[in-house]
Amino acid sequence: MRIDVFTIFPSLVDGFCSEALLGRARREGLVDLRCHDFREHTTDVHHTVDDSPFGGGAGMVVRPEPVFDSFERSGAPRPLFLLSPGGERFDQRAAQRLAGLGGFSLLCGRYEGVDHRIREHLVDGELSVGDVVLAGGEVAACLVVEAVVRLLPGAMGNAESPVGESFGASGLLEEPQYTRPAEFRGWSVPDVLRSGDHARVARWRRAQALHRTLARRPDLVDVAGGLSDADRRLLEEFPAVPYPFHFALGQEDPSP
């Protein structure tokens, strides 16, 4: 897969995507990631890529010329997506769709935004990583690249990892995970996970995924088709592992 990223800070994206799983995927040739600095396609000595908006207003706007030139001379694959708060929500399903392509490109906005002619005549769509405003699209680009590349065949050491994790094949949140030691500060790993009964472990995991999803993201259960009779029996068979939330962003500040 080839992924091209257009930005005025290519080192931000390239550095992040050179480490850990992404770095290994690049070294092994699973993904060809190319970062382009569209400041290189300016004509003035200061490499200016922005200008004040027509009609007045706060902030500066990315000019169309360097962006068009950078993309058109790069041979980058389409579709080209602008990273923008107003774009289509990027989620696991979107990542799966992109992972099925031969390649795609990302455009990182900056300043107050981009000239609308870039949206109208150059990009194929827009992606949003959430209802939050960032200084630029670079962090969002890194998020999209990692979410997609880890789904490519061979990118992850265990082929089952992307199947059982949150938003995987089941569509549910992932169940709780434990590792050694079995006892830590008086807190024990559930007996079922140490029983050696793989069928019971599988049922427990499904039950815990259901408990967690019903508590935190019930909409995902609805999307997955609702609870089956077998699911309801699992919920009765295995109580929920506690998830104590000491502080939630939606509540009032508990500090005095």
Residue 251 lies in a domain: no
Name the pLDDT band for 252 (thresholds 50, 70, 90): low
Tens digit of each residue's pLDDT (9 = 90 or more) over 162-213: 555 556 678 899 999 999 999 999 999 999 999 999 999 999 999 999 999 9
Neighbours of 203 (CB within 10 A): 17
Residue 154 lies in a domain: no
Can you give the residue range of the structural domain that contains 81?
Answer: 2-149
Residue 225 lies in a domain: yes
| 84 and 204 fall within a common domain | no
Task: Kindly list the distances between the CA atom of residue 111 and the CA atoms of 4, 24, 115, 137, in Å, as whole numbers in the listed order.
Answer: 21, 33, 11, 10
Distance CA 201, CA 39 (A): 55
Distance CA 154, CA 30 (A): 8
| 142 and 81 fall within a common domain | yes
Q: Is the pTM of this model over 0.75?
A: yes
Closest CA to 63 of 79, 47, 81: 47
Q: What pLDDT is attached to residue 245?
A: 75
- CATH number of the domain enclosing 73: 3.40.1280.10
Neighbours of 74 (CB within 10 A): 15
| 177 and 137 fall within a common domain | no
| 90 and 141 fall within a common domain | yes
